[in-house]
Amino acid sequence: MVPTPMFEKIFSRDLLDVLICAGVITVLVMFCFQIFSPFLDLMLWSVILAITLYPLQVKFKGKLGNKDGITATLIVLIAVSILIVPVYLLGASLADSVEKVMIMVKTDSFHIPPPSDTVASWPLVGEPLYNLWLQATTDLPHLAQKFIPQIKGISFSLLSKIAGVGLGLLLFLVALLIAGIFLAYGESGHRSAVRIVSRFSGPINGPKIADLCTATIRAVALGVVGIAFIQMLLVGIGFVFMGVPGAGLLALAVLLLGIMQLPATLITLPVIVFVFMSEGASTATIVFAIYVFIAGLVDNVLKPLLLGRGVDVPMPVVLIGALGGMVTSGILGLFIGPVILAVGYQLFWEWVDQVQEPEPDNQGQT
């Protein structure tokens, strides 16, 4: 059958209409994303916090007369009041650590102890490391002059990361406030999420996939990120009150280790040894050592309580999400990355595990 000119004309017109509509939609989506992108990380973190805290909203709402707005406001106020003091102390300690380092560099009061003779006997790297260390001890300005481009690059990168940490802590509190608004509209938000997912995956799989995403977000946010954050606060408060140098940076290192599922004792034990060596054995140092050691092990108690709720996500996925999120979005990405990557991981395997219905055999039919 040869297509008629009228058919070709109609077909070309319909195809042109489709292409124009697709182009307009693409441009509109690009503009919308460009406008919304500065707020993307903040809104993602707000949604994650709202989904994580929503069980508290349901639990307390009945006791407050089923008033969503009052319940959400109360939850946010309690959370902010709990977090504001330790976050402020850690942020102030972080800024103080940076200021002390800058003063030491400006006044040339930074001194490196001489290396031990045993360093030179180390295989392969012993002698070069000994010579470099000895030169840093005796002639640090000349050595720094030699590596000044690298030092500048590292210094600017470190300062920007530290500034990002302070901004991230502030954005965390802002995200908590926005999450309170989402909590007040939790039921309608859940229905909207199910409708959106059902539009892509069908009315049967839509609620199932929405519940899977919700369970994954809560499992990772509580069982991984939440535990690491609680551990950072507990250990960091001990460091701050004991006056440990660089308490804010050490607390941030505890947070990183917690998200990477490494023991916090890698930080707490050396700090305890340093405090005993510098302050000596006293009631304060003994209490500090016991408190920090227990705080460094608190994840072993919290993980069975929180990580067991929800779905299983391999730790490499969480680690890659944390590192990738921190590289791309700073301190907020450190929290958002594991959650988003875990959701993507679960959705991928949910798609893989879907059983395809066999097509009916039409052979033999006339």
pLDDT in tens, 33-55: 899 888 888 888 888 888 888 88
CB 234 within 8 A of CB 295: yes
Per-residue pLDDT tens digits for 91-127:
676 666 666 666 655 555 556 666 666 766 777 767 7
Q: Which amino acid is at 357?
A: E
Burial class of 211 by CB neighbour count within 10 A (0 to 12, 13 to 18, 19+): middle
Report pLDDT for 14. Answer: 72
CB 265 within 8 A of CB 300: no
Q: For the chain, which ranges sit under pLDDT 50?
A: 308-310, 364-366
Report pLDDT for 366. Answer: 42
How high is the mean pLDDT of the chain? 76
How far is 122 from 333, CA to CA, in rounded Å? 40
DSSP 354: P
Nearest to 343 by CA among 320, 317, 316, 308: 317
How far is 302 from 298, CA to CA, in rounded Å? 6
Report pLDDT for 130. Answer: 74
Q: Using CA of residue 247, residue 252, residue 254, residue 257, what is the dihedral sign?
A: negative
How far is 209 from 217, CA to CA, in rounded Å? 12
Nearest to 54 by CA among 68, 39, 44: 68
Report pLDDT for 337. Answer: 82
Report pLDDT for 28. Answer: 92
Report pLDDT for 30. Answer: 92
How far is 11 from 5, CA to CA, in rounded Å? 10
| Residues recorded for the chain | 366
**Residues in CB range of 130: below 8 A, 6 or more apart:** 115, 119, 120
Report pLDDT for 310. Answer: 46
